[in-house]
Amino acid sequence: METQESIRTVTTIGEMQALSEQWRKQGVSIGLVPTMGYFHDGHLSLIRHARQRCKVVVVSIFVNPIQFGVDEDFEQYPRDLERDSRMAAEAGADVLFAPAAAAMYGATFQTAVQVKQITQGLCGASRPGHFEGVTTVVCKLFHIVKPHLAVFGAKDYQQAMTIRRMIIDLDFDIDLDLAPIVREESGLALSSRNEYLSPEERREAAILFQSLRLAERLILQGERDPEKVLLAMQAMIDAVASSKIDYIALVDPETLTPVQVIDRNIRILLAVYIGKTRLIDNYLVELSTGID
């Protein structure tokens, strides 16, 4: 494992491309963990996963302006490059790629990458333009870092499926690994945005995980009507005064299309405001073996 002193911070696209080209000529496998920084244990688990599979691990930190909508939290999004650098090194990263927005998007930048169908609902409906911003920046990172492997977290499930679709459709020679969700003891999925929660809101936010577990119990006990599962989840979440449901959906894990009857494995996705903070989570319910 790399030490803190050995991590290298790269801020220019040219230097990153040159490094990656050198590694590829040497036959070195490259793993990329794309992030917006302000690391928690979930991010570190992605870095460790990449470390296990690749000789070199690059972690990108870029708070991507084009994936934030009007009145979203781009300016407030937590940032601490020095802290992130230390944590990334301890987790096994070799390079921290931290470009400036001006380097990623020059004054004449006008190209976008769009994945259509899989981004239409869920967070795509709530955050217009968000996934176009995500796919555009990830496409650029793939060309800059030239990874053999990209590691994403399962918490942002729609995002990960969107990137997978882009990799397939644009013939990127890149493997995508989906790492498990890391949770607090209460079940709350780790997120940089958890920092926005007050202590009371953080306790109340556990209701997201509790509602997903309720859905699992109902389904494994024989409930096959998605609407009844949705109503039970909604009632549980609505009982928390600070909550406001954005969406709850029971979908096919591959296509993300809503299921009409629960007759196979499904993925439950939700987005809920706790106070002013929008949180997302998801769960795979397997009819035969329980939950992932």
For 101-144, how does the pLDDT look when each residue is reduced to its tens digit (9 = 90+)? 999 999 999 999 999 999 999 999 999 999 999 999 999 999 99
pLDDT of residue 4: 42
Residue 45 near residue 189, CB atoms below 8 Å:
no
**Cβ atoms of 132 and 112 closer than 8 Å:** yes
The whole-angstrom distance between residue 94's C-alpha and the CA centroid of its chain comes to 21
Q: What is the pLDDT of residues 202-237, one digit of tens each?
A: 999 999 999 999 999 999 999 999 999 999 999 999
Residue 2 binned pLDDT confidence (cut-offs 50, 70, 90): very low
Give the residue range(s) of CATH 3.30.1300.10 domains in the chain: 192-283
% pLDDT > 70, the chain? 97
pLDDT in tens, 224-277: 999 999 999 999 999 999 999 999 999 999 999 999 999 999 999 999 999 999
pTM of the model: 0.93
- Give the model's pLDDT for residue 3: 41
Instruction: Look at residue 1 and tell me whether its pLDDT is greater than 90.
Output: no
Domain 4-179 = CATH 3.20.20.10: no
Lookup: tokens for 261: 């009857």
Residue 43 a catalytic site member: yes
Tokens of 270: 């939700």
pLDDT at 289: 52
Summarize pLDDT for 3-28 with one digit per residue, the tens.
445 799 999 999 999 999 999 999 99
Bridge-partner residues for 30, per DSSP? 56
Nearest one of 117, 110, 158, 157 to 136, comparing CA atoms? 110
Kindly report the number of other CB atoms within 10 A of residue 239's CB atom. 10
In the three-class reduction of DSSP (H, G, I as helix; E, B as strand; rest coil), residue 219 is classed as: helix
pLDDT of residue 5: 54
In terms of pLDDT, which residue wins out, 184 or 292?
A: 184
* 291: pLDDT strictly greater than 70: no
DSSP symbols for 102-152 = HHHS-TT--------GGGSSTHHHHSTTHHHHHHHHHHHHHHHH--SEEEE
Q: Which of 40, 43, 49, 130 is catalytic?
A: 43
Q: How high is the pLDDT of residue 6?
A: 79
Distances (CA, A) of 233 to 113, 114, 216, 243, 265: 35, 32, 10, 12, 18
Secondary structure (3-state) at 279:
strand
Structure tokens given for 245: 């449901």
Question: What pLDDT shows up at residue 46?
Answer: 98
SS3 breakdown of the chain: % helix, strand, coil, rounded to 5? 40, 20, 40
Cβ–Cβ < 8 Å for 242, 233: no
Euclidean distance between CA atoms 231 and 247, whole angstroms: 12
* Residue 111 burial (C-beta neighbours within 10 Å; 0-12, 13-18, 19+): exposed
Q: What is the mean pLDDT of the chain?
A: 95
CATH architecture of 192-283: 2-Layer Sandwich (3.30)
Phi first, then psi: give them for residue 21, nearest 5 degrees: -65, -40
Within the chain, all domains assigned CATH 3.40.50.620 are found at 4-179
